[in-house]
Amino acid sequence: MSLIEGLNKIFDNRIRLGIMSALMVNEEVNFNELKELLDITDGNLASHLKSLEESGSIKVQKGFIGRKTNTTYSVTKAGEKAFKAHIAALEQMIKSTK
C-alpha cells in the first residue's frame, strides 16, 4: 500500500494534528494558547508536545513574562516538511478512492 507511506505515525493523533496545525499558521504559540485551542489538560498537552519535540517536529523556547514562565512552541523546518507531506498523503487518500 503505497498510499500509507506519506502518512506520518507521529501525526496519527487528533491533538498532535491540532498542535501542528496551529504552529503551521502562527510564528509561535504558547502553552496556554494551545491549551485553550485544544481544550485539554496540562498533562495531556505536555505529553503530546514532548513527543512532537522528540520527533524533531517542533522546537521549544522557554522565556519569562515578568516572573511567570512563558513557554512558546514553533514548528521546525523538518516538522513543516513532514506535516505538508502528511496533508498531501491525506488528500491523496481521499482522491484515490473516489
Residues of this chain, 28-47, that bind another protein according to CB under 8 A: 29, 33, 36-39
84 binds another protein (CB under 8 A): no
- Please pick, from the candidates 8, 21, 71, 76, the single residue that binds another protein as defined by CB under 8 A: 21
Kindly report the number of other CB atoms within 10 A of residue 60's CB atom. Answer: 13
CA distance 79 to 56: 7
Binding stretches for another protein (CB under 8 A): 14, 17-18, 20-22, 24-26, 29, 33, 36-39, 87, 90-91, 93-94, 97
